[in-house]
Structure formats: C-alpha cells, structure tokens
A and B are shown apart, each in its own frame.
Chain A
Amino acid sequence: MENALGIWGSQAIMMAITASFTVLGIGMLLAATMMKRRWKPSYMVEFVFIGIMLGLAWYGDFTSTKTYAAYQQDLNAEEKMVSGNYDGKGEEAFDSVVTVITFQWGFGFINEEEEISRNALVVNAGETVLLKILSNDVIHGFNIPVAQITAEIDPDDKRELWIRAPDEPGKYLIQCVNYCGIGHSQMKAWLVVVDGDDDENEGEGH
C-alpha cells in the first residue's frame, strides 16, 4: 500500500545508514579487541569521520524535511494551524474529510454527513482522507500503523493529517500511542476499509 508519508524510499536509506553505522562500530570494536594487528589512527581519521557525520546530518535534514514538507503540502491551510504557512490544496482535494475527536478514552469520528461513529473510521478503498483531529481533555496520540503515520494532539491544539486508505478492504488498527491515563490501553478504533463501489458495506464497522 502506498505510504501516506511517502517516505518508504528515503526511510529505507536512513535505516541502511543507521545499520551501517552499527555494523561499522561493532566491527571496529571487534577488530580492536580480536585482531592481532595494531593501529593508531591519526587525528586526520577523526576529522574525516566528523566530516562524514556532518554530511550525514545535512543529508538527514534535507531528506526528512523534503519528505515531510511534501506530505504537508497536501494538507489544506487552516487559519488555526500553528505555523500557518502551508499552501495546501484545500479540503476539496481529498476524497473525504473526517473530524476526529480524541478523548479519555476513545475516538469519535464525524464524517461529512455529520454521522458519528464511536470506534470505526469508515473509508473507501484507496481514497485519500483528510483527518481533522481534536483533543477534548489531555494529550493523546494518534497512530494508524497501516498508514504509517503518528501524531500527538494536545488540548490547545488542532491537527490535520491525511492518509491514503489501503486498497484491500478490511479492518485496520487505529490506536492512541501517548499515555493518556488509566484507560490508555483500551483507546483503540478501527479503520474500516470498504469496497468503494458497494455502498451497502458502509457503516459496517463495530
């Protein structure tokens, strides 16, 4: 399924860089303790190493900012947005718009027809969905693993996320990932993906 953040490509590179660093570090440690050969690196080696890390920091910032900005480009610009400088496409650009209310302890989903579901976000397969998320009481988290997106919502704030629904109809987990009190473990809901052509399936979530 297409990743909402669209970061699979760059994310894979970042994972590879991280893994290489681990392998390099552990490999050098093993060599230093196991190998017979001895080596006293010059300061130049360290400076080159610092240079590589500065380059990696630049590359990480460049890539992360690019992917995240590309994701946010697609959000519409609401006057309440904190930074307020997204030039998104507006709500019309999305196939559907859902208001999400997070509370201790659960989610409420309100669709464009003002229908409220306590624990099912019903969407059509493959469509793009704009989620306008509010918190009623404390800081909550919002995570849809299948859409590969996580956000944190505080009570003074208002967040917008968008996802592309999976093509495969079915039930996918939505969960709170920020500890929000004793009922945090139960704070779950379902992303119910229905076949877009078959309207009878709508609202089947439970």
Chain B
Amino acid sequence: MSNMQMDDPKMGEMAHWDPRDLLSDLTVKQILFSNDYRLIALKGIFTAFIMLAFGGMFAIIFRTELAVPDVQFLGARVYMTLMSLHGMVMVFGFLIPLVVSVCYYILPKILGNDRLLWSGAAQFSYWTLIVAAVMLIIGRPDFTWTAYAPMSLRTGNDLIWMGYVAIILVAVSEFFAGAVLFRNALASKNGWKNTPLMAWASGTIGLLFMISVFPLGFVGYGLLSDWAQWRDVAFFDPSRGGSVKFFLYVFWTYGHPAVYLPFVPAIAIIYTLMPRFLGHPMWSYWSGVAAFILLAIGAMPIGPHHFQPLHTVSGEYERFIQILTMLVFIPSVLHVFNWISTLFMAPIPDSARRAIPFKFMIFSIAFIVYGGATAYLNGQIAPNSDFIHNTYWVPAHFHAMFFGFSGQMAFAGVYFLYPYFTGRMYNQALGNWHFWLWQIGLFIKITGMGVAGYLYFPRWVYDYLDIPGWANAQLAITIGGYMVALGFLIFLVNVFWSAKNGKEVTGDPWPVVHDLKAAPAAQPAE
C-alpha cells in the first residue's frame, strides 16, 4: 500500500501489506540477526512454535502418565521436571513471545512508522530468552514455575543454579520486549486520540512489563544468592534467617501482572483483526482505552490472591485484595462487551465467517467468557479456602485464559499474517481441522480440569488415588490434550505445505465480501 494512507486513522480497517514470499530466500544471517521487524517477528513466531512443540510434548508425556491411576511409567522427579518445564516453556517461551511477536509484526504498519523502533532491543530480548530456555533445559528445574522458596532451594540438583539464572534472564528479556512495545506505542503517528487500540494495549502492557519484571529478577537473584550462600543472612530461606513471606510477596508482585503479559497483547490482536474482518470500526474506542488503563492499574496490587489461604493475608488487607480482585474483572468484561457489541452492530460478512482467523477469534472470545467468569468465584476468600486453591480448578481457569483465549488469539494472528509473509493462502480444509480439534479438545480438557478441581484433585501430583470421579476427569483431560496435539500437528503440516502449494495471493488477502455467492471472484483464496 502507498505511504499516503499512513496517517489515516482508519488504518486498522485496511490491508496493511502486500502479500509476498518472505520465507523462501532468507539467508541464515538474516534469520539470526536481521533487524527488519517482519523477520524479528517471524523468528519469534517460529521459535514460539518450537517451544510449543516442546512444551506440548512434555504435556503429552505426563498426561499419558495421569490418564489412569496407579500405573507409573514416569518417576516423581521426571514427572515434576516435565511439569515444571511445561509451565515455564509454555508461558515464557511460547505464549508471551508469540503474542508479542505478532504485535511486533502488526505495530509498525498500523501505527504508521513502517519500522519497529528499538528493533535492536527486540533482537536482544529474543536472544536472551533463547539463552534462558537452553539453561532451563540443561538445569532441569523441578520446582514448578512459581519456584517457591525454600522448597526450590532444596532440590538436590547441582545444576539447579541454571534455573535461577534463567529466571533472571527471562526478566531481562521481558523488560526489553516491554520497552520496545512501549516505545512504539508512544511513536504512533496518529496522535493519542486517534491511535489504534493496539497502541493503547502496547503502551499499557509495555509499561507493566517494564515495572513488573524487577521483582522477578530479584526472585532469581535471591534464590541464586541463597542457594550459593553469598550472604550470611538469606533472603528467603528461613533456616538462615530469610523470610518465606518476603518471597511470596516479591514473587506475586511480578506474578499477577505477569498473567496479563500474554493476555493484553492477545486482546490487542482482537482489536486489530475484528474491524479488519468486519469492515467497520469497533463499537466503542474509548471503552477499549478505559479498559486497557483500568486493567494495567488493577493488575499491580492483587498478587496476594494467589496465596490467600496462607495466613499471611488476613483481616482488612485480605478483604482489600478480595474486593480489588473482583473489580479487576470489570475491565476484562468491558473488552468482551465491546467485542460482542461490535459483532452485533452490523451484518457479519460472509468472507469473515469463512476466514480461519475470524473463527479462532470468535471461539477465543467464548473461552475468555468460559474461563473468565470463574474469576468472580476465585477472588472470594470463602470458596478459595474450599475447593479452589491449588486444586485443578485453577489450571482449568488459566488454561481457558492462556490457551483458550490468548494462545488461540495468537494463532488467529498467525493465520491472519500468513498470506502476508508467504504470499500464499493456507489450506482451508486443514485449517478447519485444526480449528475444530482445538475447540473440542480444549473444551474437554478445560472442563475436565474444572470437574477434577471441584472434586479436590490436587495440583502437581504424578499419581493419585482412585477416588470417584478423579480417574474419569483425568482420562478426559488426557483425551482433550491428545486432540490439541493432533490439531497442532495439522497446523504445522498446513504451514509448511501451503507455503509451497497454497493458492497465491495478490492484493488484499482479506477483502470484506458480504455475499460470497454474489461475488465468487472475490472469494478468498484457498
């Protein structure tokens, strides 16, 4: 498209790039070090797929172990290592880098800069994360992603320091990713009253990244220091004068904003794709802006709801956290309200109904509702002290939010970008298979986890008693997990097959066509 349209506030509803094949004549040097925003983004996207493959493989192995009670083929240590790596790789290696990379790809055009500012920082962020991932794989921590001290200091693994260093490196990497998002949001050509909602998302979440990673870095440093006994008085280890409470507060000061790090960019992708597919603006611009700001403010202080059943949080403070947790529900609901109203406003074009990214978007909204509604219950102390805390109920909640919503929305973004960077369209049939396998698999998996949690199935166990309901729920989750894995394999086949054999796309790959029967020529390529 021409540069004349760059400052048009309607940018978000227009075609952003000319489809072209970026992949086939890449040199190794370009892949590794090019600061072209598209190449940085594509590198991040494909690395995230590798991470998803690893994290998913770990999950498939331990889900098989959990399918039936009392049958073991993994020991506790192997199970816990796979489990810990699954959590860390999926959140830090797959989900956050994927949504951020999709934003890197979209931001330069939508903001009118036509390049990613501070792309060197994005490059640095990428490589830091790679080093962290390698250290995690070598160090094989088995202390889960929360690394609760002093348990995480007493693993009997000589290489465990690599896990602590990896935590610091993740913090460094996320800091620079946040800085890039923030910098680009500020540079929007349209002025803050007209800037696309993705800029508001990048600005608020970039800031949240930059602030919240400091406690995470300190957690890594404190664990390393306590483990190596650098100081006479430990930070966290109570046997040497440290405080476990201190650990919990520091960790969750990062930990709660952290759950929004993959969440907000995914929301931003919806605000970009929805007007594009529907061919009209969002229902409300300012409702979206307000929701982004409220979410960023509300995210910071509510970390303690993650350890509420600990005695540390009590009395009026506990109540403050409870109220704030229920209030932070509101900005998310404002987003959902905005999306559904936008869908309701005008007839949905046939072209959108047919597009795989649009389908993923609609179902990711369904999953944010399915997983998000339970937040109202989770925030309350009384049910939290009953069946919610540390049972499978919480994994059901965050798999719906992280995978059902954020992960699927990131995949919608990748499907959307696919013709732009390959010059070809994905295969529609394979896309549909991927889509339905994921919706059904995820629904079974998440519902199974919710049921198991309601029956007090504890988290982080590699074997369990044959208590009524437990084995059935676990078997269901495992079946759902297999379906998700199969869907991902089909997606990979689609990506590689269609890059060579898909129908070539010229011009706008996503034309808005209201009646496909009347205008078959404009039908999106298959």
Tell me whether A129 is interfacial, beta carbon within 8 Å. no
Count residues on chain B whose CB falls below 8 Å from chain A CBs: 79
Please state if B391 and A177 are interface contacts (CB–CB under 8 Å): yes
Q: A57-B329, A181-B154 are in contact. Are A29 and B385 (CB under 8 A)?
A: no
Cβ B329 vs Cβ A157 within 8 A: no
Q: How far is the CB of B200 from chain A (nearest CB, A)?
A: 18
* Complex alpha-carbon distance, A23 and B340, angstroms: 14
A38 to B: closest C-beta gap in Å: 6
Proximity bits, B380-399, A CB within 8 Å = 1, else 0: 11111111111100000000
Given contacts A50-B330, A157-B311, A157-B312, contact A150 B389 (CB under 8 A): yes
Q: Which residues of A contact B370 (CB under 8 A)?
A: 22, 26
Chain A residues near B327 (CB-CB < 8 A): 54, 57
B369 touches A182 (CB 8 A): no
Name the residue on B nearest A67 (C-beta). B382
Q: Interface stretch among B1-9, B104-112, B240-248, B500-508?
A: B240-248
**A14 beta carbon closer than 8 Å to chain B:** yes
CB distance from B291 to the nearest CB of A (A): 10
Encode contact with A along B62-81: 1 for CB under 8 Å, 0 otherwise: 00000000000000110010
- Min CB distance A19 to B, Å, is 8
A68 contact set on B, CB distance < 8 A:
381-382, 385
Q: Which residues of B contact A157 (CB under 8 A)?
A: 245, 310-312
CA distance A31 to B344 in the complex (A): 8
B326 sits at the interface (CB 8 A): yes
Q: How far is the CA of A149 from the CA of B385 in the complex (A)?
A: 6
**Complexed CA–CA distance, A10 and B389 (Å):** 18
Give CA–CA (A25, B366) in the complex, Å.
8
Q: Judge if A7 is at the interface, Cβ distance under 8 Å.
A: yes
Give A56 to B373 CA distance when docked, in angstroms: 12
Q: Which residues of A contact B (CB under 8 A)?
A: 5, 7, 10-11, 14-15, 17-19, 21-22, 25-26, 28-29, 31-33, 38-41, 43, 46, 49-50, 53-54, 56-57, 60-61, 63-65, 67-68, 71, 81-83, 85, 104, 137-139, 141, 143, 145, 148-159, 173, 175-185, 188
- In addition to A82-B314, A175-B456, 5 A-B residue pairs with Cβ atoms within 8 Å of each other are A41-B344, A156-B238, A156-B244, A179-B144, A181-B154
Query: What are 26 A-B residue pairs whose CB atoms fall within 8 Å in the complex?
Result: A7-B383, A15-B377, A29-B340, A29-B366, A32-B341, A32-B344, A39-B345, A41-B283, A54-B327, A57-B323, A60-B322, A65-B381, A71-B382, A83-B315, A138-B148, A143-B390, A152-B309, A153-B311, A154-B244, A154-B245, A157-B245, A173-B456, A175-B456, A177-B458, A177-B459, A184-B460
